[in-house]
Copies of this chain bind each other. A is one copy, B any other.
Amino acid sequence: MKLSKVAKAVNGTFTGDGEAEIHAMASLLEAREGDISFLANPKYAAQMKETKATAVLVAHDYAGDCPATLIRVDEPNKAFASLAPIFGPKPVVREPGIHATAVIGEGVTLGKGVYIGPYTVIEDGATIGDDTIVDGLVFIAQHVTIGKGCHLYPQVNIRESCVLGDRVILHAGVKIGTDGYGYTVEIGAQGPVITKVPQVGIVEIGNDVEIGSNTCIDRARFGRTRVGDCVKIDNLVQVGHNVQIAPFVGIIAQAGIAGSAKIESGALIWSQAGVSGHLTVHERAQVAPQAGVKEDVPEGEYVAGTPAIPKRKFAEGLLLPRLVDKLKKKVADLEAKVKALEAK
């Protein structure tokens, strides 16, 4: 698309080569020739000189240097977002219908407007709510209940009797309802005897939950592993059996929550952090990336480190080497002085 046409689309003005071709959108630093970018936050103004974009959307009063052609608009942020339908990926539209290859069991209830993709398997007694999209290669086991307006991407697996609310998004490869890790160990005459503890609960997921690719949520030993409304979980996260996640919790990539832990409303578990079993992370608390929680985290606290401690204390710990170095010098100084005094 010609630059002049793009400028028109965002209701902008420019001086320069309107014939230049624009192919894609990118941030200032990521852009290359043929890309259009934008400057909304003055924090990134320094990137304007370095950008390889062909065009940049800026505010009317922008006065800095930039090798790209500037297109002046009212709100660069919004103008940029408005270009997504033109330059972004073509949206995927799933017309309601059941693909001829889908295997649908007995007693399955499908709502209105449901889409079921190729090679998806839905076992006996499952229920799928109105307008839900189940992509291809998904496996939904018997008696699973899925609400309205959900979207399950390819290669998702939901084990038997688990329950999903409305508008739940499960990205590719999510596994819901795997057996939790539970064994009894007895030392017999011939060595250890390890027995699997039956995992006869389910996973229950609320409304408006989104779960990232390849994340795993284990079914409960008894009862339910629970993920509350509006919880947002990133990729490759592990949620153990009987974990209770309250509404409005965020869990970032590769974090892990061990069995029976409780994450209260508004808490944030950052990437690669771990929460040990049976603990509570209280309301609006945050667990720093890579932190390891070994005791309850109080309401609103931000903890870091392994074992996790309040952020302020953790920061103090980082100053320790410098503190010890200072002490070392002071002690050497004292030793000299004491030696001198003794000599007198």
Contacts and interface: CB of A to CB of B under 8 A. Distances in A.
A18 interface: no
A63 interface: no
Number of identical monomers bound together in the oligomeric complex: 3
Contacts of A260: 27
A292 B252 CA distance: 14
Contacts of A252: 181
Given A230-B194, A272-B272, A119 B92 contact: no
B172 A248 contact: no
A1 interface: no
A135 B31 CA distance: 34
22 contacts: A24-B223, A24-B224, A30-B224, A30-B226, A84-B200, A84-B222, A88-B201, A89-B160, A89-B201, A90-B161, A92-B160, A119-B119, A135-B139, A153-B157, A157-B172, A159-B172, A169-B179, A172-B178, A214-B214, A214-B216, A235-B238, A323-B324
Interface of A: 24-27, 29-31, 35, 80-81, 84, 88-90, 92, 101, 103, 117-119, 121, 125, 135-137, 139, 141-143, 153-155, 157, 159-161, 169, 171-173, 175, 178-179, 181, 183, 191-192, 194, 196, 198, 200-202, 208, 210, 212-214, 216, 218-219, 222-224, 226, 230, 232, 234-236, 238, 240, 242, 244, 248, 250, 252-254, 256, 258, 260, 262, 266, 271-272, 274, 276, 289-290, 292, 305-307, 313, 316-318, 320-321, 323-324, 327-328, 330-331, 334-335, 337-338, 341-342
